[in-house]
């Protein structure tokens, strides 16, 4: 399996935040030098929002999906969408095929996560040659990360934010797709009492507007009301609500 194939096989777990730190580092290093894989990632930017539409019953059913059902869902979704996955945020056919795509993606990810189908990026050994050691969960384990997502159908901009509790506040990761190339952006954490904490600024260098931006805020997770992404002139781009 070549490097691009390995990278694309890992994009699904990457975009939903289920990838480990070492694998994520290797994948992001590859994305910096590979426009084709960045395009693939941009096409998956709306996946967290799609999965958010799936209810608990569908999640239970997806624990062991029959292969023929997954194939059927993928075929129906492909037939109805009439456009590439990266156009999730626009188009009149969105409402017809999005639930099918969400269910198919959920089943595929469930199979990868629970069926041992995910091969770590950069590891060419067969799955049988690797060993997995169960690590006991500490009683004072850090709370799991929280994912917030938002999209704008008009601008076709999608984003999600990962929040990690820290003693000093909250670590945050922004994943943004669809921003116009050449845009100069900045973002803020907005507290429930109205305070705003600037988190940084950046220049959109890629044609598909994909980027990941790490930051930290003094606000605790329960204090955060939203994240605002704006141009450097202050024009709103997207708001991700907690």
- pLDDT tens digits along 82-119: 444 443 334 444 434 445 455 555 555 555 444 444 44
- Domain boundaries, position 220: 146-241
Q: Which residues pair with 169 in a beta bridge?
A: 166
pLDDT exceeds cutoff 60 at 147: yes
State the Cα torsion 97-101-104-109 to the nearest 10°: -170
Is 194 found in the same domain as 84? no
Is 111 found in the same domain as 151? no
C-beta separation of 44 from 84 below 8 A: no
Burial class (CB in 10 A: 0-12, 13-18, 19+), 179: buried
In this structure, how many other beta carbons lie within 10 angstroms of the beta carbon of residue 23? 19
The verdict on residue 190 lying in a domain is yes
The verdict on residue 39 lying in a domain is yes
The verdict on residue 8 lying in a domain is yes
pLDDT exceeds cutoff 80 at 140: no
pLDDT exceeds cutoff 50 at 218: yes
Mean pLDDT of 163-167: 93
In the DSSP assignment, the letter for residue 19 is S
pLDDT of residue 68: 59
pLDDT of residue 66: 58
The verdict on residue 134 lying in a domain is no
Is 156 found in the same domain as 117? no
Final residue of a structural domain among 129, 161, 178: 129
Of the candidates 158, 204, 205, which has an alpha carbon nearest to the alpha carbon of residue 178? 158
Is 11 found in the same domain as 81? yes
Q: How many domains does the chain have?
A: 2
Is 116 found in the same domain as 31? yes
Which carries the bigger pLDDT value, residue 11 or residue 187? Answer: 187
Is 160 found in the same domain as 119? no
pLDDT exceeds cutoff 50 at 221: yes
Final residue of a structural domain among 71, 95, 129: 129
The verdict on residue 75 lying in a domain is yes
In this structure, how many other beta carbons lie within 10 angstroms of the beta carbon of residue 135? 6
In sequence order, the 6+-apart residues with CB closer than 8 A to the CB of 147 are 16, 17, 48, 160, 161, 162, 163
Mean pLDDT check: name the lowest of 62-71, 124-133, 149-158, 168-177: 124-133
Which carries the bigger pLDDT value, residue 4 or residue 49? Answer: 4
The verdict on residue 135 lying in a domain is no
pLDDT exceeds cutoff 60 at 128: no
Is 84 found in the same domain as 181? no
C-beta separation of 179 from 169 below 8 A: no
Is 113 found in the same domain as 69? yes
Is 153 found in the same domain as 122? no
- At 18-74, the pLDDT tens digits run 777 778 888 888 888 888 888 777 767 666 655 655 555 555 555 555 555 556 655
Is 216 found in the same domain as 100? no
């Amino acid at each position: 399996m070549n490097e691009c194939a390995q990278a694309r096989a890992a994009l699904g777990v990457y975009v939903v935040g289920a990838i480990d730190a070492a694998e994520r580092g290797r994948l992001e290093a590859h994305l910096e030098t590979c426009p084709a894989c960045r395009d693939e990632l941009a096409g998956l930017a709306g996946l967290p929002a799609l999965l958010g539409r799936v209810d608990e019953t569908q999640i239970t059913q997806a624990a062991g999906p029959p292969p023929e059902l997954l194939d059927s869902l993928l075929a129906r979704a492909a037939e109805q969408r009439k456009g590439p996955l990266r156009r999730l945020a626009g188009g009149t056919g969105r409402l017809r095929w999005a639930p099918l795509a969400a269910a198919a993606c959920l089943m595929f990810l469930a199979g990868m996560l629970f069926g041992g189908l995910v091969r770590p990026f950069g590891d060419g050994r067969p799955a049988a040659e690797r060993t997995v050691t169960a690590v006991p969960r500490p009683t004072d384990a850090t709370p799991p990360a929280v994912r917030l997502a938002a999209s704008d159908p008009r601008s076709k901009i999608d984003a999600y934010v990962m929040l990690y509790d820290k003693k000093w506040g909250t670590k945050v990761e922004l994943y943004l797709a669809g921003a116009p190339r050449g845009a100069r952006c900045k973002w803020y954490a907005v507290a429930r009492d109205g305070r705003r904490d600037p988190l940084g600024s950046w220049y959109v260098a890629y044609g598909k507007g994909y980027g990941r931006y790490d930051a930290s805020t003094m606000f605790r997770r329960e204090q955060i009301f939203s994240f605002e992404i704006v141009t450097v002139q202050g024009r709103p781009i997207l708001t991700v609500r907690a």
